[in-house]
A and B are shown apart, each in its own frame.
Chain A
C-alpha cells in the first residue's frame, strides 16, 4: 500500500513519518512514535480510552486517520503536565479524589475532562455526566470521576 508523508506535532515535538492512508491516529501515536500513554479500549469508538486533543478539541484517536492529523497538533495525556512537578489541575484532581483505579480509561478520561472544562469551566453534575458519556470506566462507577471533575473545576478557577 502506498505511504503518505505526514508531519504531526505531538506533545510539543514534531514527528515526520510516512504512513498508510488507513493508519489510525492512535496506532501512529502508540506504535510509530512510541506515545503509548494513549490506549485502545474498543473498535467501535464507544469507550473513549484513546481520547486526545487535536488542535485543542477532544477526538477519539481510533476514529481519526493519521493522515488527517497532518500539519496539526496533538496533545496526549503524556504532554499535559509541565514537567514532573507541575501537574495539570485535572491530573491533580483525579489523584486527590481517587478518580481512577486500574488507570486504563484514565488517559482518555483526563483528556475528555480537559476538553469539557475548556468548554464549560463550571459544569453541573449532570453536565459532567453527560459530557463524559463517551468515556467508559468499569472500575470507579464514575462517582469519584464526577468529584474529580468538580474539584478540577475549582482548581482551575471555575466557580461552582
Chain B
C-alpha cells in the first residue's frame, strides 16, 4: 500500500508518496515555538481591554512590579518610543484612512482584547498572576459594532481621524467601477421587458482562522552584536523580518526570523502582530529573551478575524436565462484597526464575483468600515470565499426566479472549454478550464438524478425531513501574484518566489525554498518536483524553509501560491543546476556538453551509454575542484527567483445533499461530492487532504461557526466551547475526485489547492438547505445555519413570529 519512493529512476511527480514530515510529527519530535526555552527567558503576559471602547483615564503598572518573579511591566507610557505602530501594507485607495495602530494602546482602547499593558516575569504563571495588580481606570465610551450604524454621519467614531467626508467610520470607498460593456443599469435597461433582476442581501459572517497551535513568539537578543533572533508561529517569516525591521528600526541584516514547526495558519498567521513587535522591543530594552504564547481565549479576541461582509448583490438575466450583468455593493468590516492587508481582502474577491460565467456588465463597489471589533484580515480564501458564496447563492435564486434547474442555468452561462483563454468581465484572463468535465464527473458521483427523484418524493409525501441539493460550480484565482499586478492594486510588496538548490559533495541535495509550510507538506512535494528533474531519490533531498538565516529569500505561504509560484522557482533552479553540472560532466567525460543527455540522475554520452557520470560525481568534482574546466567556479548550486506571468485558476464542482428537519431546523449532511481541477498534481494524497480540510472549514462557516458580539462589543464566542470548530462527529466523509486541465501560466501546469475546498463548500451547503426549504417559501438562511437559524427561517417564511 505504501508508495515510498527511494529509487532514482522513476518519476516522483504525481505519486501519492507518504509524507517525509510525518515521522517527526507522529512521534512528538517537534519544534513548536512554545517548545523553545532559552536561559533567562522572561514570559510576557498581556493585560487586554475588557471594553470595546473606552478612554484609559489612568494606568499604573507599578504595583505589578512587586509581585513575585516580575521583572518589568509596561504600558504605552513606559514603553515610550519603542511602542511602534503596526503598518498596513495595502492602502487600496489614495484617500484611505489609515489610523495609528500602536502595539500598546495609547489613551484609548478600541476593541475587546486591545492591548493595554504587559508584565514580564521569569515564571509564566507569575506573569499571568501579576496582571491582576495592574491598575486601570477606564472611562467607557459608546461602542459601535454594527457596520451600517458605523457608516452613518454622527456615529461614534472609532478613530477621530476617520470622521471625514465619507461618514464617521469609513476607512475607504472603492469606487463603483462598471466594467465590460457598460453599467449594470444600462444593461438591464437595454434588455427591457426581457430583464429579470434578482436582488439579495447576504451576510457573510465573521469567522476565526482556528489554527490549532496558538500564536507564539520568542525574541532573543542573545548572540552577535546587533543580532536579534525571533521565532514565531507565523506563515510569513520573510515578510515578517522586513516589517519588524521597518517598525522597530532594528537593522534588517541583524534580524533573523525563524518559523519553526507551525501548527496551521489558514491566513490567521499571515500577519505582523503587535505581540511580535512587543516581544522584540522588550527583549531589546531588557537585553533578555522574551517569550509570549497566547491562550486560546486571547486568540479568540486578538488574532485577526475574517469575512464579515454585508453583500448586496444584484444579478440580471433574460427570461430564458442568459446572464446580463451583476452589481455588487459590499460593506466590509475592517474591525478597529488595519492589520497588514485588511483593506485588500474584499478586493481579492472583486475579481471573482463573475466566477465561471459570461456576462456583459459588472459593477463592484466596496466600503470598508471601522467598528469596535477585532481587526479582520485574511482567512482561507480571503475575499474569494465571500465572492463565490454570493455568486453561487444568487445563481440559485435566479434559477428559482426563472423556474429553471439551477444546473441548467449555470450550464447556459458558463465559459465553455473551447472558449479558453477567456477574459472575464472582471478583467481576468482565465488560461484554461473544463467546467463541463468536472460537472459531469460530479453529477455522476453524486447520483444527482436519483437524489432529485427522492426530493420530489419527500416533498410529495410531506416528509418532515426534507432533502435539498446544493450546487457550487466555482473557480478561484491562485498563484499570488504577478508583482506588477500587485503594484497596480497598491499592494506594497511583490509576489515572486525563490529557490536555491545545492548539490552537496556527498551527493545529497539541499533545496532551499522561500515558501513557508505550516502543514501543507512542502518537504515531501518539493522533493518530488526536484527528484523528477534531478533524478535524485526523494529521500536524498532535504527541503530547507522557514528561517531567514538558512533560506534568505522568499515571499512565504498564503493564497494557494506556494506550488503555483514556488514550484516554478524549484523547476528553474533545478534546470540551472543541471546546466552547470553539464559543463563539468562534459569535461570529466572529455566530450562536448551537447553530446550529453541527462537521464535518471546521470549524464550519458549520446550513443555510448556506458560512458556516464552521475550527478553526485559531478557534485564531488565541483567540491574538490581538482579538475574543473577553465572558468568554472567550484561548488554546484543554482538559484532562481520567479515572478509569475499570471494567476492560475483552479475550478471544480461541489455538490451537497442535506437533510433538513423542518420541525427542529437540524441540518444533516448526507453526502458531499467535490470534483476539483487543480491542474497537474505533484502528490494526489496531499491534494486530497487539502481539499478535505478546506471543506471542513467552508462547511464550518455554513453550519457551525460565527463570531458573535453583543451590542456593547463583548465577544460571546470567546472560547472553543462557544465558537464551534467542527469535530469529527459534525462532518461526513467526503467523496473527492479530480479532473486535470493543466494551467498554461506556469511550466509545471499546476494551479493551487489550499483554499479550493473552503471557497467552494459554503455556498454548496447553504444552497442545499435553501433548496430543501424553498417550497416552504424560504429564500435564504442566516449563517451559520444552526438549528435555531434554520428554524427561524422556516417560521419567517410561514409568516409566523421570528
Residues of A within 8 A of B (CB): 20, 22-23, 27, 30-31, 35-44, 46-47, 49, 76-78, 80-81, 87, 91, 94-96, 98, 100-107, 110, 125, 128-130, 132-146
- The residue of chain B having its C-beta at the shortest distance from the C-beta of A23 within the complex is B125
Q: Select which of A20, A107, A129, A139 is within 8 A of B693 by beta carbon.
A: A139
Contact between B693 and A106 (Cβ–Cβ < 8 Å)? Answer: no
Give how many A-B residue pairs fall within 8 Å (CB-CB): 183
The 13 sampled A-B contact pairs (Cβ below 8 Å) are A37-B29, A42-B214, A46-B720, A47-B720, A101-B519, A102-B518, A105-B263, A106-B26, A129-B728, A135-B727, A137-B212, A138-B696, A141-B696
Asked if A102 meets B264 with Cβ closer than 8 Å, knowing A40-B214, A138-B211, the reply is: yes
B266 at the interface (CB under 8 A from A): yes
Contact between B721 and A46 (Cβ–Cβ < 8 Å)? Answer: yes
Contact between A98 and B25 (Cβ–Cβ < 8 Å)? Answer: no
- The residue of chain A having its C-beta at the shortest distance from the C-beta of B725 within the complex is A136
Asked if A142 meets B696 with Cβ closer than 8 Å, knowing A95-B18, A101-B520, A136-B212, the reply is: yes
Q: Select which of B296, B521, B697, B727 is within 8 A of A41 by beta carbon.
A: B296
Asked if A136 meets B720 with Cβ closer than 8 Å, knowing A47-B296, A77-B27, A107-B28, the reply is: yes
- A104 to B296: give the CA distance in the assembly, Å: 14
**Contacting residues, chain A, for B22 (C-beta < 8 A):** 94-95, 100, 103
B503-539 toward A: CB 8 Å interface, digit per residue (1/0)?
Answer: 0000000000000001111000000000000000000
**Contacting residues, chain B, for A22 (C-beta < 8 A):** 125
Contact between A44 and B296 (Cβ–Cβ < 8 Å)? Answer: yes
**Contacting residues, chain B, for A104 (C-beta < 8 A):** 32, 211-213, 263-264
Q: Select which of A39, A134, A141 is within 8 A of B692 by beta carbon.
A: A141
- The residue of chain B having its C-beta at the shortest distance from the C-beta of A34 within the complex is B37
Smallest CB–CB gap between A18 and chain B, Å? 14
Contact between A143 and B733 (Cβ–Cβ < 8 Å)? Answer: yes
Q: Select which of A81, A87, A130 is within 8 A of B729 by beta carbon.
A: A130
Asked if A146 meets B27 with Cβ closer than 8 Å, knowing A39-B34, A103-B261, A138-B212, the reply is: no
B262 at the interface (CB under 8 A from A): yes
At the interface, is chain B mostly helix, strand, loop or mixed? loop
Q: Tally chain B residues at the interface, Cβ within 8 Å.
A: 58
Contact between A103 and B25 (Cβ–Cβ < 8 Å)? Answer: yes
Q: Enumerate B322-365 residues with CB–CB distance to A below 8 Å.
A: none
**Contacting residues, chain B, for A91 (C-beta < 8 A):** 26-27
Q: Enumerate B688-720 residues with CB–CB distance to A below 8 Å.
A: 688-689, 692-697, 719-720
**Contacting residues, chain A, for B263 (C-beta < 8 A):** 39, 102-105
B1 at the interface (CB under 8 A from A): yes
Contact between B25 and A100 (Cβ–Cβ < 8 Å)? Answer: yes
Q: Enumerate B616-638 residues with CB–CB distance to A below 8 Å.
A: none
Smallest CB–CB gap between B486 and chain A, Å? 27
Contact between B728 and A128 (Cβ–Cβ < 8 Å)? Answer: yes
**Contacting residues, chain B, for A137 (C-beta < 8 A):** 212, 728
Contact between A145 and B30 (Cβ–Cβ < 8 Å)? Answer: no
Asked if A141 meets B26 with Cβ closer than 8 Å, knowing A42-B296, A98-B18, the reply is: no
Q: Enumerate B733-774 residues with CB–CB distance to A below 8 Å.
A: 733-734, 757
Contact between B264 and A139 (Cβ–Cβ < 8 Å)? Answer: yes
**Contacting residues, chain A, for B9 (C-beta < 8 A):** none
Q: Enumerate B70-104 residues with CB–CB distance to A below 8 Å.
A: none
- A141 to B686: give the CA distance in the assembly, Å: 13
- A100 to B688: give the CA distance in the assembly, Å: 12
**Contacting residues, chain A, for B28 (C-beta < 8 A):** 35-38, 76-78, 107
